[in-house]
Amino acid sequence: MYDPKSKKAEEFIDHQEILDTLAYADAHKDDAALIDEIIAKARLKKGLSHREASVLLACTLEDRNHAVYELAREIKRDFYGDRIVMFAPLYLSNYCVNGCLYCPYHAKNRHIPRKKLTQEEIRAEVIALQDMGHKRLALEAGEDSVNNPLEYILESIHTIYSIQHKNGAIRRVNVNIAATTVENYRKLKEAGIGTYILFQETYHKESYERLHPTGPKSNYAYHTEAHDRAMEGGIDDVGLGVLFGLELYRYEFAGLLMHAEHLEAVFGVGPHTISVPRVCPADDIDPGAFDNGISDEIFEKIVACIRVAVPYTGMIISTRESQKVRERVLELGISQISGGSRTSVGGYAEEEPEEESSAQFDVADHRTLDQVVKWLMELGYVPSFCTACYREGRTGDRFMSLCKAGQIHNCCLPNALMTLKEYLEDYASPETKAVGEAVIEQQLPNIPNEKARAVVAKHLQEIAQGQRDFRF
Ligand code: SF4
Ligand code: SF4
């Protein structure tokens, strides 16, 4: 039954194949010879199959686990250097007709304030986000064809891209909305979205149906096949994710990698990003009600194993996670993080009073973007506000082939330094600016191509003189 090329959810995420994978991983969790073979293959940095990666995730040999962590760090450095891409979520509406048991926006929650931003309110939110320094947003909205029809999402995207405030601009809008039709994905593509992100929540069909008792999202196949439809609608960059804590993490891990293999097999391009949220507290949601919660240690191991299994896929972490956990997983594979986030509908322009909170989840990292940027630089990273690939048409297979050839390095570091410089000039506090100037000076010699280095040095001066938006 298992067929990565099939267009049917239950064939490319075949339950029996996952069970067999878990049994295989259990049988080999201390099989040093096999584990060494898998690690040797991972060292080629071309990825692993879901079975191989599942053995690494199950591995009980401490020295081999250590080797996997080391390799994850190495792959992270090789493919992403010191750069960390910054983004912020923007919640448009929390009206939702679905019944997801783990989300406070579920339709039966009668006491959470329901809000939907008007275009004027979106303007205010976007100006506030621009004033923080953000250039890349992830749009979030519940599923409700009456309150949040696609036309509303499209109009909102148009509004967001049209706002030019001081030197600010949102240059890339990623979208995280409910599974929809090919035709609607085509409209999103035409509206100029970057990545279409849709979390599977859980790959386990029975659990999925239990956790989604009502609403259109309860259709497992329609949801699981959504990324295929998005790609058929012309969106080349799609993002996957599971909500760890709902089901057994090893099941989800295998399912996630099978989904990535399916996209690669059918479209020749794997997922652009993988997100790794964990269930966390929110309005009427108690994470203790889900009995598959994972420890920080397991969470770190999952990140490391995903990193070695799909080296070319960006990994995203949100402010659900604390500063401590974020720090640990950054080195193991995370390449994009949010900063200064509000997870309520509105809240950037004007803070919501706590008793009227419309938040989807409680934020664990409450620092401002400026604090996060400074913290990253003090850890040795280069915060990047780059959105160049999407704007240069380097998406889908064009992006992946550049990435696989290691060429992306000739774009990423230059773009990171130039967008960081913009941030420092326009938005940073004096302390952050001082740290940032030193980072730029230190990193400039690391641009491999001499000509590119000279161009960047020139653009850095031009940015200091007021010019903006250079990119490679
Ligand atoms: S997870 Fe999404 S679809 Fe489910 S209730 Fe929350 S907003 Fe609605
Ligand atoms: S150059 Fe492309 S891959 Fe590199 S950081 Fe910018 S958008 Fe991302």
| Ligand with minimal distance to 144 CA | 1
* pLDDT for the residue numbered 362: 86
Residues 75 and 45 sit within 8 Å (Cβ to Cβ): yes
Q: What Cα–Cα distance (Å) separates residue 453 from each residue in 382, 445, 461, 463?
A: 16, 7, 13, 15
| Ligand with minimal distance to 99 CA | 1
Residue with tokens 């067929």: 3
Residues framing ligand 1 (Cβ under 6 A): 96, 98, 100, 103, 105-106, 142-143, 178, 217
| Ligand with minimal distance to 472 CA | 2
Binding site membership of 418 for ligand 2 (Cβ less than 6 Å): no
Q: What Cα–Cα distance (Å) separates residue 224 from each residue in 3, 150, 361, 398?
A: 15, 20, 23, 25
Q: Whose CA is nearest to atom 2 of ligand 1?
A: 142
Mutate to test the pocket of ligand 1, among 98, 147, 284 (most ligand atoms within 8 A of CB): 98
Binding site membership of 238 for ligand 2 (Cβ less than 6 Å): no
* pLDDT for the residue numbered 288: 85
| Ligand 1 atom at shortest distance from the alpha carbon of 102 | 1
- Specify the DSSP class assigned to residue 447: -
Residue 215 falls in which region: left (phi positive, over 0), alpha (psi -120 to 50) or beta: left
Q: Across 114-190, where does the E strand assignment appear?
A: 136-141, 172-176
d(CA 258, CA 85): 26
Q: Whose CA is nearest to atom 7 of ligand 1?
A: 142
Binding site membership of 75 for ligand 2 (Cβ less than 6 Å): no
The residues facing 273 across adjacent strands are 239, 314
Tell me the DSSP string of 381-419.
-EEE---HHHHTT--HHHHHHHHHTTTTHHHHHHHHHHH
Query: Which contacts qualify for 435-440: CB closer than 8 Å, 24 or more apart?
Result: 435/374, 435/377, 435/378, 436/373, 436/374, 436/377, 439/377, 439/382
* pLDDT for the residue numbered 355: 80
| Ligand 2 atom at shortest distance from the alpha carbon of 83 | 5
Per-residue pLDDT of the chain (472 residues), as tens digits, is 899 999 999 999 999 999 999 999 999 999 999 999 999 999 999 999 999 999 999 999 999 999 999 999 999 999 999 999 999 999 999 999 999 999 999 999 999 999 999 999 999 999 999 999 999 999 999 999 999 999 999 999 999 999 999 999 999 999 999 999 999 999 999 999 999 999 999 999 999 999 999 999 999 999 999 999 999 999 999 999 999 999 999 999 999 999 999 999 999 999 999 999 999 888 888 888 887 899 999 999 999 999 999 999 999 999 889 999 999 999 999 999 999 999 999 999 998 888 888 998 889 999 999 999 999 999 999 999 999 998 998 888 888 887 777 777 789 999 999 999 999 999 999 999 999 999 999 999 999 889 999 999 999 999 999 999 999 9
* pLDDT for the residue numbered 57: 98
Residue with tokens 């690669």: 264
Interval between CA 351 and ligand 1 midpoint (Å): 23
Cβ density class 87-116: b for 16+ within 10 Å, e for less: bbbbbbbbbbbbbbebbbbbbebeebebbb
d(CA 255, CA 53): 11
Side chain identity at residue 250, one-letter code: R
Q: Whose CA is nearest to atom 2 of ligand 2?
A: 389
How is residue 32 written in tokens?
């040093």
Interval between CA 251 and ligand 1 midpoint (Å): 22
| Ligand 2 atom at shortest distance from the alpha carbon of 387 | 7
Of 178, 200, 176, 175, nearest in space to 190 by CA:
175
Q: Across 189-272, where does the E strand assignment appear?
A: 193-197, 238-241
| Ligand 2 atom at shortest distance from the alpha carbon of 394 | 2
Interval between CA 472 and ligand 2 midpoint (Å): 9
* pLDDT for the residue numbered 9: 98
Of 83, 20, 48, 89, nearest in space to 277 by CA:
89
Interval between CA 381 and ligand 1 midpoint (Å): 34
d(CA 347, CA 41): 47
| Ligand 2 atom at shortest distance from the alpha carbon of 384 | 5
Of 362, 364, 363, 365, nearest in space to 283 by CA:
362
Mutate to test the pocket of ligand 1, among 94, 96, 208 (most ligand atoms within 8 A of CB): 96
Query: What class does CATH assign to 81-366?
Result: alpha beta
